[in-house]
Structure 1
Amino acid sequence: MGRAGRGGQTLVRVAVVVRAGAVPLWWLGVAAAGIGLLIPGLTGRAIGVYAGVALFVLSAAAVTLTRRRTYTAWAERASRAGRFDVLQDRAVTIRNWRRAHVWWLAGGFAAAVAASFAVPVAAGAVLAGAGVGLWLKAAWLGRLERRDDALLWVRADWAGSGAPTGKRVQGYRTTGLAAGNAAPGGARRHGP
C-alpha cells in the first residue's frame, strides 16, 4: 500500500488523517449524549449534564494539545516529497481511516450510551469533545502548514491505520500548498 511506481511512495496528508475522526466522533458523541438525556441515571440528569460540560472541555483540550511537539519536530525535519511519490486523495484517506476504526467508533458509542445509566450525558460529551479536539488539532496543523508554506505528508504504510505520529513514522515529507486536493488543515479544497 505504501509503495508507488519507480521507487516512489504513497503519501497521505497528516492533517487529513488527524481530521478524519473529527466528524464521526462529534456526531456519535452528540447522539450518545442525547440518548443519555433520556436516561435518569444514578446521579440524575443535572449532575450528568454539568459533568458532561466539564468533560467535553477537558476532552477537547487534551486531544488538541496532545503530541503537538511531536508534530512540530517532524515538520521541522521534513524532507521534500520525491518526484515519483503518489499523493493520496483526501476522500480515500478519510475512507481508509473510518474503515479501520469502525469497530472502535461503534464500541465507543455503545460504551457512552451504557455509561449514561450511571452518569447521563457525560461519556457522550467526552466523545464529542474528542471530535472537536481533532478538528482543532487539524486547524492548528493548517496554521503550521501556512506558516511554513508547505503541506505535511507521511508515508501511508507508516501511518498504518491512522497514526501520523505512531512508532512506525520515521519522517514527514512536504509539498507546496497547491498539491493534492485538501487545503492546509485537511479541509476539502474549494475552487479550481
Structure 2
Amino acid sequence: MARGGQGLARVAVVVRAGAAPMWWLGVVAAGVGVLLPGITGRRIGVLAGAALFIVVAAAVALPRRKRYAALARGTVRAGRNDVLQDRAVTTRNWRRGHRWWLLLAFLAALGSALAVPAAGGMVLAGAGVGLWLKAAWLGRRERAGDELLWVRVDWLSTRGGSPAGKPVKAYRSTGIAAGDATPGGRRRKPAALV
C-alpha cells in the first residue's frame, strides 16, 4: 500500500456480501424442510415461514439507516494514495470471516424443519433479501449524492465487520465511476467495445 494511504472497501458491497449465501442456503434449507412433515405440518410451516420471511427481511433492511445516513453526510474525499479494494476481494473477505456463522445458520434452519417445516430456511432467505434491500437503499443514496461510499478496511476487521459499527468514524467518497461496482454494490458491466 502506498505511504499515507488506506485500504478502502465499498460500503454497499460489504452490506451485500452476505445476501447471496443467505438467500441460497435459505432456499436449500426451506426446500429440504418442505420434504419433512414436521410437528406442525407442512401447511403451517410454510405459512409461518412466509410471515417470518417478510418480518426478517424488514428487520434486516430497516435498522441503522440513521447511522448510515450520518456517516454518509460526513464523508471525506478519498486521497490519491488510498487503495480501492475490488468488489470480489471485499465479498470474499466478508464471506471468509462469516463462513462459520453461515454454516451454523444453515444447520439451524435444517434442524428447525423437524418442528416447523421450511420456516427456518425462509427466515435465512429473508435475511438475505433484507441485505439486498439495504444495499439497494445505499445505492439510491449514492446516486442521489453522485458519489460512492467507502469504508476503511481496518475498521471492518473489528467487531464483526459492520460498515456502520462503532469503530467506523467516517466514510470516504469517490466519484460515481470509481471501482468495479455500481451504486448499490452490483458488479459493474464491462464497457462494450465499439
Instruction: Place the TM-score, normalised by the shorter chain, in its bin.
Output: over 0.9
Partner of 2:72: 75
Aligned-partner SS, 1:152? strand
1:107 equivalent to 2:104? Answer: yes
Give 2:166's aligned residue. 167
Equivalent pairs: percent with the same residue? 66
**Pairwise CA RMSD of aligned residues?**
0.8
What are the superposed Cα offsets for residues 17-47 of structure 1, whole Å, 9 maximum, x if unpaired?
0000000000000000011101111111110
Once residues 162 and 126 of structure 1 are traced to their aligned partners in structure 2, the CA distance between those partners, rounded to angstroms, is 22
1:14 maps to amino acid: V
Note if contact 1:45-1:119 (Cα within 8 Å) is conserved in structure 2.
Answer: yes
Q: How do 1:17-28 residues align onto structure 2 when only pairs under 5 Å count?
A: 17-28=14-25
Q: Distance in 2 between matches of 1:74 and 1:126?
A: 29
Q: Name the counterpart of 1:8.
A: 5
Q: Deviations over 1:58-113 (max 9, x none)?
A: 11111110111110010001111111000000000000011111111010000000
Q: CA deviation at 1:5?
A: 1.6
Moved over 2 A (4+): none
In structure 2, which of residues 131, 135, 157 is the aligned counterpart of residue 134 of structure 1?
131
CA contact (8 A) 1:159 1:165 kept: no
- Aligned match of 1:34: 31
Task: Tell me, in whole angstroms, the C-alpha distance in 1 between the residues paired with 2:147 and 2:156.
Answer: 19
Does residue 41 of structure 2 align to residue 44 of structure 1? Answer: yes
Match of 1:63 in 2: 60
Structure 1: give runs of 5+ residues left out of the alignment: none
SS in 1 for 2:3: helix
Tell me the residue number matched to 1:123.
120
TM value normalised by structure 1: 0.96
AA aligned to 1:108 is A
Shift of 1:168: 1.0
TM-score by length of 2: 0.95
Deviation of the 1:184 alpha carbon: 0.4
The number of equivalent residue pairs is 189
Give the unaligned 5+ runs of structure 2: none
| Alpha-carbon distance between aligned partners in 2 of 1:100 and 1:158, rounded to the nearest angstrom | 14
Measure, in 2, the Cα distance between the counterparts of 1:17 and 1:162.
8
The code of the aligned residue for 1:132 comes to V
Q: CA deviation at 1:162?
A: 3.0
Distance in 2 (alpha carbons) for counterparts of 1:66 and 1:38:
34
CA offset at residue 6 of structure 1? 1.4
Alpha-carbon offset, residue 191 of structure 1: 2.6
Distance 2:188 2:79 in 1: 22
Secondary structure (helix, strand or coil) at the match of 1:126 reads helix
